[in-house]
Amino acid sequence: MPVSIHAEPLEQLTRDIFAAAGAPPDIAAVVAESLVMTNLVGHDSHGVLRVKQYINMIRAGMIKPAARPLIRKRFGATAMVTNGYGFGQIGARYAAELAVELGRAHGIAAVSLGQTAHIGRLGEYTHLIAAAGLIGIGFTSGSMFSGWVAPYGGREKVFSTNPMSFAVPCAGEGTLLLDFATAGMAHGKVLLARAKGEPVPQGMMLDKNGRPSTDASIVDDGAVLLAMGAYKGSGLSMMM
């Protein structure tokens, strides 16, 4: 049975969980705020659903909960940031804020982020850039170990869901924001459907035998996601 909880105590609980797992208070607060806000804006697939995943990654040594981002290289309007395998929300926010700084100084900027864990909702960071009065464009590519998507015409996991996001400030009208996976649906949306006992839409997934399926429960049993727009989404994912 679903349980309702107000945002403030949920955020506090999430902070406490990450702090108990070794995150400094400021890092735990940022990650908790990001996850709960993601729920509040309607993307439960990238919200507190991820807490268990992150804790498991900490236990497996895949997330260093106290790690902080550093600028590895900086040249003109460009920079490379390394996150030390820390929480992705910390590194992505740092990279977005650096992009704003460089963009204001040079009129354009490009910042990359490496050695990072899952960053959550990509649109959070392009929106941060747009809120500063700049146009934010973000692309994310998962590691070779996190493939979920088959290339067009295939049935093997090759690509991550490789999302992209665009955010444009609109005078007096808020922000125009696009944020979507290059898969037909984000992996997190499948996890959410599984948690709710719901099917996924037709045309999103193949089972381990390469047959179309809507059964979200098989997501970890050899299933693969399909790219959005057939070869178009597959090509975009490949280029990222």
The pLDDT score that the predictor gives to residue 3 is: 78
State whether 11 and 80 are in the same domain: no
* DSSP helix/strand/coil, 82: strand
Write the pLDDT tens digit of every residue in 66-113: 999 999 999 999 999 999 999 999 999 999 999 999 999 999 999 999
Residue 189 lies in a domain: no
Q: Which domain, by its residues, includes 100? A: 70-142+162-180
The pLDDT score that the predictor gives to residue 46 is: 95
The pLDDT score that the predictor gives to residue 128 is: 98
State whether 28 and 75 are in the same domain: no
* DSSP helix/strand/coil, 136: strand
Q: What angle do CA 177, 68, 62 make, to 5 degrees?
A: 85
State whether 169 and 84 are in the same domain: yes
Count CB-CB contacts under 10 A for residue 161. Answer: 27
The CATH number given to whatever domain includes residue 131 is: 3.30.1370.60
Residue 87 lies in a domain: yes
The pLDDT score that the predictor gives to residue 67 is: 99
State whether 176 and 77 are in the same domain: yes
The pLDDT score that the predictor gives to residue 146 is: 67
The structural domain count of the chain equals: 2
Residue 96 lies in a domain: yes
State whether 87 and 174 are in the same domain: yes
State whether 104 and 168 are in the same domain: yes
Q: How far apart are CA 205 and CA 23, in angstroms?
A: 36
Judge residue 90's burial from the number of C-beta atoms within 10 Å of its C-beta, 0-12 exposed, 13-18 middle, 19 or more buried: buried
- In which residue ranges of the chain is pLDDT below 50? none
* 7-20 and 51-59 helices, crossing angle to 10°: 10
Write the pLDDT tens digit of every residue in 12-24: 999 999 999 999 9
State whether 51 and 91 are in the same domain: no
Residue 234 lies in a domain: no
This prediction's pTM: 0.92
Residue 185 lies in a domain: no
